Amino acid sequence: MENMFAEVLVDVKSLSGSLHYFVPAGLAGKVQAGCRVLVPLQSRRVVGYVVSLSEQAPESGVNYKEIATLLDEEPVFNSHQWELACWLAQRYLCSKVTALQTVIGPALHSRPGRVKKIYPVLSPQGEPDFSRQPGQQKVWQVICQHPGMTRKELVAAAGVSDSLINTMLARGILCTRIEERTPRCSYPVPRQEKQELKLSSWQQMALLEIESHLKQARPGVFLLHGVTGSGKTEVYLRAIETVLGEGRQAIVLVPEIALTPQMVSRFQARFGDKVAVLHSGLSDAKRYDEWQRIRCGAAPVVLGVRSAIFAPLSNIGIIVLDEEHENSYKQEESPRYHARDVALQIAARHNALVVLGSATPSLESYSRALPGGPYKKLVLPQRVTPHSLPPVFLIDMRRELKSGAGGIFSRRLLEAIGERLEMQEQVILFLNRRGYATFVVCRECGLVIKCPYCDISLTYHNSGIMRCHYCNFATSAPLNCPDCQSNQIGYFGTGTQKVEEELRVYFPGAGVLRLDADSTGRRGAHQEIFQAFKEHRADILIGTQMVTKGLDLPGVTLVGVVNADITLHMPDFRAAERTFQLITQVAGRAGRGQQKGEVLVQTFTPDHYSLVFAARHDYEGFFKHEYAQRRLLSYPPFVRLGRIVLAGTEQEEVEAGAAYWAGRLNELIAIKNLPAVLLGPAPAPLARVRNRYRYHLVVKARGAKVLRQLLAFVRDTDPGPQLRRLLISVDLDPQNLM
């Protein structure tokens, strides 16, 4: 028999490359590329992924170690997934193992608590030693003859005790595998009747354009700029029908679970069981089920959040990113990928068409859809419902204050709510802060109570608990000031709970629901609240950005923004863009049914351009203004950014590390004459989180290549024993500069 060598990517974060191992005779023909194995590494055994096999030793004269155990009989990933993982690792500067695990996704999870089947572990050394273990010998014979029995069946067939099986599992002679079962629906929602809609002429035009490109070899990328309620989803659905008709498959990404209930029911109404739903609230078992349905071809339509972009489909015809501007498409841990970039990459490999849909496209995407750019623009400028976009009024809270009304609500907003309630219509109130009071302060000495681990004030919740919204630290609110012992503790800043409480005072008869991270902690809670509001079991829905997205509720005629300034003053060059998006999106929830809608926005800065343009529903105007700003200040989309965050428990050390890296990078930029500019070092806006001090460096450059070069330098250079202790993360195209 010929020699066989396996290239193995070991699951050890500090090792970036792959290693080679000898395939022992007992495993010859069984080890395949895509299987997991156990391999010796120093004195340990570690899990590894076989990425390739070869008959020649990579280097002659080297004594290669043997693969110890084969963990999978069937590959858990294929060559396409491996190529994608390599691309991901290179694109986002993460290790290949991390990238591969991200790509493989739920296929690696076993189904907890489900029917497991038992298999013998085939080892190169042949049959394990069963001398003086007749019971185990018996089990071994039975299971080798009938691999894949359940534990119950095996116990019965071999006539042994349950604990004996445990012993054999612990010895590694037997292993369990989770088998495919009849999968159930992963997201039970009330099914909608299939509607036969007559497309508007705008929808018709967009669809025609998409369908004519579907047939082409390089179908391209479309930016579907459609105002809220313009019927974007209907365009997606029809395009997908066409794709399915050609025997191909579709992926539809949505930003958050909050969006899913209505999307899910519309997709299920159209495609029935052909839809697999992948969202963050799924248990591992259900996620695994859905993954299996996708892999075996039962579900050619995948609807899901960010990671669903890795769904194991074989022939993708179309990929849709709904609300493409949303931040949640960017993963904030390694690999720090953006689903949009991955979608473009996957689409290129499948010759699939990409649709990026939004009422408020990101500056990056919209600039690429300008004349001459790489994307093609499609527009849906009008609503499909009887009423056009609702009028938006900015309410100057400075004037309210001056006239002595210093509460949460302006008089105008209170009046409007009262009127809508009288007419039995529904109201959505948006405030981008959860909890009750956003800071707790001593009125005597001015102390603001902060999280002991983060540089952030604690938020008071109406349970009497103060919480850190970064690390979730919780403590009960003090009766006396921890510094000066005075009892003058005050609660300031408004969160959703306080809004809810005040609403109940002003409108005691009204049904009020709250939708935020606190009210939706329990699985399914989100959907219950949403359903209750949809069925008009409540009149007012108050919530964080969860209420701004995608809800299509015809009964809502008034939307109130309690404080539009919160996002506007974030220390981030995207603050204006975010604010414009949030206001436009939440405004889009009003007046989608038979009654006319209205939007009231409370702000202390009613002259700010992002609010003024949002109030006019003027995306183009906003884009032009913001685009000019970005050009002036050299921010994306005119440059690309790279960000390096250093974190550690000793502030001086982190500061020294930041200075060191800034020096090294500036040196490299100068020596190689690289077209890049380094900003910083500076403390990150969130200067301390979870007891770690944070500093950051931001690099600007025209192209990603030079950024990747600089970030890779940081990743691969050893700064010496002292600074080695710091945590370093590198991020290409960061969405978040906190």
Residues that bind ligand ADP (CB under 6 A): 195, 197-200, 203, 226, 228-234, 384-385, 552
Q: Is 483 in the site for Zn ion (CB under 5 A)?
A: yes
**Interacting partner of 200 out of ligand ADP, Zn ion, none (Cβ under 5 to 8 A depending on kind):** ligand ADP
In whole angstroms, how close is the CB of 446 to Zn ion at the nearest point? Answer: 7
Q: Which is nearer to Zn ion, 282 or 481 (CB)?
A: 481
Q: Is 489 in the site for Zn ion (CB under 5 A)?
A: no
**Interacting partner of 454 out of ligand ADP, Zn ion, none (Cβ under 5 to 8 A depending on kind):** Zn ion
Residues 6+ apart with CB under 8 A from 619: 225, 359, 360, 361, 584, 613
Among 364, 444, 552, 572, binds Zn ion (CB under 5 A): 444
Map tokens 């899901």 to a residue. 304
Q: Which is nearer to ligand ADP, 69 or 200 (CB)?
A: 200
Map tokens 């038979």 to a residue. 594
Answer whether 386's CB lies under 8 Å from 405's CB. Answer: no
Q: Which is nearer to Zn ion, 23 or 689 (CB)?
A: 689
In whole angstroms, how close is the CB of 580 to ligand ADP at the nearest point? Answer: 17
Give me the helix-helix angle, 575-587 and 619-633, nearest 10°.
Answer: 170
Q: Which is nearer to ligand ADP, 234 or 290 (CB)?
A: 234
Q: Which is nearer to ligand ADP, 195 or 673 (CB)?
A: 195
Separation between Cα atoms, residue 375 and residue 360, nearest integer Å:
16
**Interacting partner of 234 out of Zn ion, ligand ADP, none (Cβ under 5 to 8 A depending on kind):** ligand ADP
The residue type of 561 is V
Q: Is 252 in the site for Zn ion (CB under 5 A)?
A: no
Per-residue tokens: 624: 């032009």
Separation between Cα atoms, residue 737 and residue 720, nearest integer Å:
27
**Interacting partner of 627 out of Zn ion, ligand ADP, none (Cβ under 5 to 8 A depending on kind):** none
**Interacting partner of 678 out of ligand ADP, Zn ion, none (Cβ under 5 to 8 A depending on kind):** none
Please provide residue 344's backbone torsions phi and psi, each rounded to the nearest 5 degrees.
Answer: -65, -40
In whole angstroms, how close is the CB of 267 to ligand ADP at the nearest point? Answer: 12
Q: Is 471 in the site for Zn ion (CB under 5 A)?
A: yes
Residues 6+ apart with CB under 8 A from 658: 646, 680, 681, 682, 695, 696, 697
Distances (CA, A) of 497 to 438, 460, 503: 10, 10, 10
In whole angstroms, how close is the CB of 492 to Zn ion at the nearest point? Answer: 14
**Interacting partner of 233 out of Zn ion, ligand ADP, none (Cβ under 5 to 8 A depending on kind):** ligand ADP
Among 454, 515, 611, 641, binds Zn ion (CB under 5 A): 454
- CA-based torsion, 252, 254, 260, 263: positive or negative: negative
Q: Is 445 in the site for Zn ion (CB under 5 A)?
A: yes
3-class DSSP assignment, residue 318: strand
**Interacting partner of 129 out of Zn ion, ligand ADP, none (Cβ under 5 to 8 A depending on kind):** none
Which of 455, 480, 479 minimizes the C-alpha distance to 468?
455
Q: Considering only the stretches 169-177, 225-233, 381-389, 454-462, report the one whose residues sit in contact with Zn ion under the rule CB under 5 A.
A: 454-462
Q: Is 323 left (phi over 0), alpha (psi -120 to 50) or beta?
A: left
681 preceded by a cis bond (ω within 30 of 0):
yes
Q: Which is nearer to Zn ion, 324 or 518 (CB)?
A: 518
Give me the helix-helix angle, 79-92 and 339-350, nearest 10°.
Answer: 140
Q: Is 679 in the site for Zn ion (CB under 5 A)?
A: no
Per-residue tokens: 512: 């009020």
Please give the size of the binding site for Zn ion, defined by CB under 5 A. Answer: 15
Q: Which is nearer to ligand ADP, 78 or 265 (CB)?
A: 265
> For residue 264, how far is the Cα from the chain centroid?
18
**Interacting partner of 384 out of Zn ion, ligand ADP, none (Cβ under 5 to 8 A depending on kind):** ligand ADP
Q: Which is nearer to Zn ion, 293 or 467 (CB)?
A: 467
Range 623-632 contact pairs with CB under 8 angstroms and sequence separation of 24 or more: 623/363, 623/366, 626/363, 626/576, 626/577, 626/580, 627/363, 627/367, 629/576, 630/363, 630/573
Among 19, 67, 481, 701, binds Zn ion (CB under 5 A): 481
Apex CA 499: angle with CA 494 and CA 500, to 5°? 145
Q: Which is nearer to ligand ADP, 497 or 585 (CB)?
A: 585
Among 468, 489, 568, 641, binds Zn ion (CB under 5 A): 468
Q: Which is nearer to ligand ADP, 379 or 517 (CB)?
A: 379
Q: Which is nearer to ligand ADP, 224 or 665 (CB)?
A: 224
Q: Is 448 in the site for Zn ion (CB under 5 A)?
A: no
In whole angstroms, how close is the CB of 698 to Zn ion at the nearest point? Answer: 24
**DSSP H or E run through 429:** strand 426-430
Q: Which is nearer to Zn ion, 64 or 470 (CB)?
A: 470
Q: Is 419 left (phi over 0), alpha (psi -120 to 50) or beta?
A: alpha
In whole angstroms, how close is the CB of 259 to ligand ADP at the nearest point? Answer: 10
**Interacting partner of 229 out of Zn ion, ligand ADP, none (Cβ under 5 to 8 A depending on kind):** ligand ADP
Separation between Cα atoms, residue 474 and residue 650, nearest integer Å:
24
In whole angstroms, how close is the CB of 489 to Zn ion at the nearest point? Answer: 8
Q: Which is nearer to ligand ADP, 19 or 227 (CB)?
A: 227
**Interacting partner of 226 out of ligand ADP, Zn ion, none (Cβ under 5 to 8 A depending on kind):** ligand ADP
**Interacting partner of 473 out of Zn ion, ligand ADP, none (Cβ under 5 to 8 A depending on kind):** Zn ion
In whole angstroms, how close is the CB of 93 to ligand ADP at the nearest point? Answer: 35
Map tokens 């028999």 to a residue. 1
Q: Is 19 in the site for Zn ion (CB under 5 A)?
A: no
Answer whether 302's CB lies under 8 Å from 294's CB. Answer: yes
Apex CA 728: angle with CA 577 and CA 642, to 5°? 35
- CA-based torsion, 606, 607, 610, 612: positive or negative: positive
Q: Is 473 in the site for Zn ion (CB under 5 A)?
A: yes
Answer whether 90's CB lies under 8 Å from 321's CB. Answer: no
Q: Is 442 in the site for Zn ion (CB under 5 A)?
A: yes
Q: Which is nearer to ligand ADP, 455 or 618 (CB)?
A: 618
Find the Cα–Cα–Cα–Cα dihedral 299, 303, 309, 315, rounded to 10°.
Answer: 40
Q: Considering only the stretches 321-329, 434-442, 514-522, 629-637, report the one whose residues sit in contact with Zn ion under the rule CB under 5 A.
A: 434-442
Q: Is 553 in the site for Zn ion (CB under 5 A)?
A: no
Answer whether 254's CB lies under 8 Å from 261's CB. Answer: no
Separation between Cα atoms, residue 658 and residue 663, nearest integer Å:
9
Answer whether 104's CB lies under 8 Å from 62's CB. Answer: no
Name the residues that contact Zn ion, by CB under 5 A.
Answer: 442, 444-445, 447, 451, 453-454, 468, 470-471, 473, 481, 483-484, 486
